[in-house]
Amino acid sequence: MQTTFTPEQMEEPGIAIANDILRNCVHCGFCTATCPTYVLTGNELDSPRGRIYLFRDMLGSDRSPSESTVLHTDRCLSCLSCMTTCPASVDYMHLVDEARNRIEKTYTRPFSDRLLRKILTLVLPNPGIFRLALFFARLGKPLADLMPERIKALLRLAPTKIKAASKFDHPQVFRPEGKPKMRVALMAGCAQRILRPSINEASIRLLTRHGCEVVIANGAGCCGALAHHMGHENDATTSAQANITAWDNSREKDGELDAIVINTSGCGTMVKDYSFMFRNDPKWAERADWVSQKAKDITEVLMLLELKAKKTEQNTTIAYHSACSMQHGQNINEEPKTLLEKAGFKVNVPAEPHLCCGSAGTYNIMQPEYASQLRSRKIRNLRATGADVIAVGNIGCLQQLSGDDANIPGLVVVHTVELLDWATGGPKPEDIA
């Protein structure tokens, strides 16, 4: 693709990166076949190729972006399926991030939109505030149908029952029996520890059972992805710096870390990108790169260990749903399925596995119409596998597919690590009868 940025514009790091990315695009259109929004609407501007033209024109001008540019940018899920498909290796992820930054800096959204985005950025990454918000959301659920669409979507996604806080999530060290094979930091996260504390608990049991010393580092929290994908770069940077500092302090105080283990693939994609995020910051670049190099999805770490399956006699059939951030963001495809099969489960893969379920961070709140269509499509494909249980590696997908109105009678949705923990001596996931 031809670009016409001026020398002055090229002095901006974001524009320089965007220019290189744009010039790689050859307009082939392969991305349209795997883009969820294009599959739904058939609108070229809802495809990566169409958005790339919009981004080029927006970044090359000194004007505020048009309503059309903002609309079609907001409709992008950042699922990154287009990057898996693209034969020219166009780095769409960093291009759409730069576009969102520009929109946030130069476009004035309606007040209600700005307010909701600010609330989500404040509430979801802060466990204490999020827990309180869920309490009030539970009270409001009976009135959901009377609310505006976005508020309705938010209330429907809120769980009916709020889990008790887990003692596993506080800064501490969990040691295995015998000499540790690895020393790892587990990212406890933010929203997940409130929505599904059993995931971190299962992760710690699973890792220590397989010889890992597990550290919950003091000061580590939200990865920053939610703010980042809304164009709130200051908030995202603050979260990332807190994590980098926490893990760096942990290794300096108590010894080197072999890995930073992440059990939410959306967070994993973000943390692995810290090196890019801080590439031009001399104060943070080296430590950020160290974090990105150490960051591993929990299935990547478990593949390095010998899985101690104890319950291989069970006949539970699993439908494995691969989160977009797992397969497209991190190129992790076989590890979760291989581990589940080693643990004794029969694993089926649904049709259209590359298509997003519609969760995509806060997409299911900000774009409820498209998110609902994608969820219905995903659920039909999952049901067609004939599986008893759906396994996922991302809390967003888990909530999207198991919400009160998801309508999957007879099926339960659990995290992959909960199944692996069960199969290697841990408790049975509470949702499985």
CATH annotation of 7-106: 1.10.1060.10
pLDDT of residue 322: 97
pLDDT of residue 77: 97
Global pTM reads 0.94
Encode pLDDT of 65-74 as tens digits: 999 999 999 9
Q: Do residues 311 and 422 make contact, with C-beta atoms less than 8 angstroms apart? A: yes
pLDDT of residue 76: 97
For the cut 90, the answer to whether the pLDDT of residue 433 exceeds it is no
> Which residues neighbour 406 within 8 Å (Cβ) at sequence distance 6 or greater?
375, 379, 400
For the cut 90, the answer to whether the pLDDT of residue 154 exceeds it is no
| 409 band by pLDDT with thresholds 50, 70 and 90 | low
Measured CA to CA, the distance from residue 16 to residue 10 in angstroms comes to: 5
**HEC profile of the chain:** CCCCCCHHHHCCHHHHHHHHHHHHCCCCCHHHHCCHHHHHHCCHHHCHHHHHHHHHHHHHCCCCCCHHHHHHHHCCCCCCHHHHHCCCCCCHHHHHHHHHHHHHHHCCCCHHHHHHHHHHHHHCCCHHHHHHHHHHHHHHHHHHHHCCHHHHHHHHHCCCCCCCCCHHHCCEEECCCCCCCEEEEECCCCHHHHHCHHHHHHHHHHHHHCCEEEEECCCCCCCCHHHHHCCCHHHHHHHHHHHHHHHHHHHHHHCCCCEEEECCHHHHHHHCCHHHHCCCCCCCHHHHHHHHHHEEEHHHHHCCCCCCCCCCCCCCEEEECCCHHHHCCCCCCCHHHHHHHHCCCEEECCCCCCCCCCCCCCHHHHCHHHHHHHHHHHHHHHHCCCCCEEEECCHHHHHHHHCCCCCCCCCEEEEHHHHHHHHCCCCCCCCCC
Measured CA to CA, the distance from residue 119 to residue 408 in angstroms comes to: 30
User: Which segment of 4-18, 22-36, 140-154, 180-194 scores lowest on mean pLDDT?
Assistant: 140-154
User: Which segment of 157-161, 334-338, 354-358 scores lowest on mean pLDDT?
Assistant: 157-161
Q: What is the mean pLDDT of residues 218-245?
A: 95
For the cut 60, the answer to whether the pLDDT of residue 405 exceeds it is no
Q: What is the mean pLDDT of residues 164-182?
A: 93
pLDDT of residue 143: 79
Q: Where are the domains of the chain?
A: 7-106, 111-157, 167-302, 317-423
Encode pLDDT of 132-149 as tens digits: 999 988 888 887 777 888
| 256 band by pLDDT with thresholds 50, 70 and 90 | very high
Identify any residues that bridge with 318 across adjacent strands, giving them in sequence order. 347, 389
Q: What is the mean pLDDT of residues 168-184?
A: 94
Measured CA to CA, the distance from residue 277 to residue 235 in angstroms comes to: 13
pLDDT of residue 139: 84
CATH annotation of 317-423: 3.40.50.1860
315 vs 10, more confident: 10
Measured CA to CA, the distance from residue 19 to residue 59 in angstroms comes to: 9
pLDDT of residue 407: 54
Q: Do residues 227 and 125 make contact, with C-beta atoms less than 8 angstroms apart? A: yes
| 158 band by pLDDT with thresholds 50, 70 and 90 | confident
In the numeric block, the tokens 């980098």 are attached to 244
User: Which segment of 108-117, 141-150, 159-168, 222-231 scores lowest on mean pLDDT?
Assistant: 141-150
* Total number of residues shown for the chain: 433
Encode pLDDT of 272-320 as tens digits: 999 999 999 999 999 999 999 999 999 999 999 989 887 655 678 999 9
Encode pLDDT of 358-394 as tens digits: 999 999 999 999 999 999 999 999 999 999 899 999 9
